[in-house]
């Protein structure tokens, strides 16, 4: 239990460091080139990758401290279990999308100067959260309606991104629009049909991964109850 708590806390620190380094690189490069620093900062915190990593860092820190200070309370906390499921889903999708669609694309948050930061945010942290779900400290079983809670943040982010995109000037290219990821940019070949297809596909992925997270908490809780029942029966005999 202590090992998992320390791993959660260490991962939270690594995520914050990775996000901070990327931001510092972006701000420095923009300032040196005379660009609009405020827009770059706002755009930086509009990436789903950055937001999901910040959510993950906060939840991992919460879980790490809670498990160290009140292990039994952590097991019974529905809120913490739901928060971990949300963070795990977001980070799993972040890792999948980045490594399948975006790894070969240079993103404007300074990925090349600090490659370790990209790996922490897109590979290391997602793996840690998945391992925590499968092998970490037992957490409370979640109801199936939690999948709707998990899906709410990505949907809000997509709405925010599509509304904001045409209203923001690209601080790097000067184009009169800015989208954090090319598959949300209706100005590219494929237009809205491509954007809608990607949104539907990603929504399905969120539902699938979220459902897997919920199912895993229920399965592990059931297995723990069965193990406890076996122990109790053997003691009575």
At residue 121 the predicted structure's pLDDT band, cuts being 50, 70 and 90, is very high
At residue 110 the predicted structure's pLDDT band, cuts being 50, 70 and 90, is very low
Domain ranges in the chain are 2-236
Please state the rounded mean pLDDT for residues 136-150: 92
Closest CA to 25 of 96, 93, 127, 118: 118
Percent of the chain with pLDDT over 70: 88
Least confident of 70-79, 82-91, 124-133, 224-233: 224-233
Q: Which two tokens stand for residue 158?
A: 């997509």
Least confident of 87-91, 128-132, 135-139: 135-139
Percent of the chain with pLDDT over 90: 56
- pLDDT confidence of residue 106: 59
pLDDT of 109 higher than 60: no
Residues whose CB falls within 8 Å of the CB of residue 186, separated by 6 or more in sequence, listed in order: 192, 194, 195
| Gyration radius from the chain CA atoms | 20
pLDDT tens, residue by residue, 169-201: 887 777 889 998 888 998 888 889 999 998 999
pLDDT of 122 higher than 70: yes
Please state the rounded mean pLDDT for residues 18-43: 89
Output b/e per residue, 24-39; b: 16+ Cβ within 10 A.
Answer: ebbbebbeeeebeeeb
Question: Where is pLDDT greater, at 62 or 171?
Answer: 62
pTM: 0.89
At residue 73 the predicted structure's pLDDT band, cuts being 50, 70 and 90, is low
Angle between helices 146-164 and 48-69 (to 10 degrees): 150
pLDDT of 232 higher than 70: no
- pLDDT confidence of residue 53: 97
Cα 125 to Cα 60: distance, rounded to the nearest angstrom: 10
């Amino acid at each position: 239990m202590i090992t998992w708590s320390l791993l959660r806390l260490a991962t939270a620190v690594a995520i914050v460091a990775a996000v901070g380094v990327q931001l510092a690189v972006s701000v420095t490069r923009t300032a040196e080139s005379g660009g609009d620093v405020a827009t770059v900062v706002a755009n930086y915190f509009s990436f789903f990758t950055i937001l999901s990593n910040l959510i993950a860092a906060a939840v991992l820190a919460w879980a790490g401290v809670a498990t160290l200070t009140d292990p039994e309370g952590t097991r019974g906390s529905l809120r913490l279990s739901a928060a971990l499921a949300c963070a795990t889903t977001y980070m799993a999708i972040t890792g999948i999308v980045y490594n399948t669609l975006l790894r070969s694309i240079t993103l404007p948050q300074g990925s090349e100067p600090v490659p370790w930061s990209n790996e922490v945010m897109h590979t290391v942290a997602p793996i840690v959260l998945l391992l925590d779900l499968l092998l970490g400290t037992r957490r409370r079983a979640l109801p199936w309606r939690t999948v709707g809670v998990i899906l709410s943040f990505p949907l809000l982010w997509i709405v925010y991104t599509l509304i904001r995109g045409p209203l923001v000037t690209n601080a790097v290219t000067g184009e009169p629009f800015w989208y954090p990821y090319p598959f949300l940019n209706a100005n590219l070949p494929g237009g809205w049909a491509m954007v809608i297809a990607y949104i539907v596909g990603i929504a399905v992925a969120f539902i699938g991964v979220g459902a897997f997270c919920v199912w895993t908490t229920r399965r592990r809780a059931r297995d723990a109850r069965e193990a406890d029942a076996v122990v109790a029966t053997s003691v009575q005999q």
